[in-house]
Amino acid sequence: MTDKKEMKLDLLPEDCIVQILSFMSPRDASQLSLVSTMIRDAALSDLLWEKFLPFDY
């Protein structure tokens, strides 16, 4: 019998999820937002979208 360990992304704080999403493209982050409400909330965060803007914006 094999022990399966599950990792639940929803258990992470929203700012951690935002940090993870910031490594993706805006399109990928938007598509991933369909997975759960917690990820959707992080994907809608202004903090995330500020990371996608150019530095001199």
* Domains in the chain, number: 1
Please indicate, yes or no, if residue 39 is contained in any of the structural domains.
yes
Residue 24 corresponds to which tokens in the numbers above?
């993706």
Please indicate, yes or no, if residue 18 is contained in any of the structural domains.
yes
User: 39: Cβ–Cβ under 8 A, 6 or more apart, which residues?
Assistant: 9, 10, 17, 21, 32, 33
Please indicate, yes or no, if residue 42 is contained in any of the structural domains.
yes
Please indicate, yes or no, if residue 35 is contained in any of the structural domains.
yes
- Segments forming the whole domain that contains residue 37: 13-52
Please indicate, yes or no, if residue 1 is contained in any of the structural domains.
no
Please indicate, yes or no, if residue 45 is contained in any of the structural domains.
yes
Please indicate, yes or no, if residue 57 is contained in any of the structural domains.
no
Please indicate, yes or no, if residue 5 is contained in any of the structural domains.
no
Q: Model's pTM, two decimal places?
A: 0.77
Q: How many helices (H) and strands (E) does the chain have?
A: 4, 0
Q: What is the pLDDT of residues 11-50, one digit of tens each?
A: 889 999 999 999 999 999 999 999 889 999 999 999 999 9
DSSP designation for 1: -
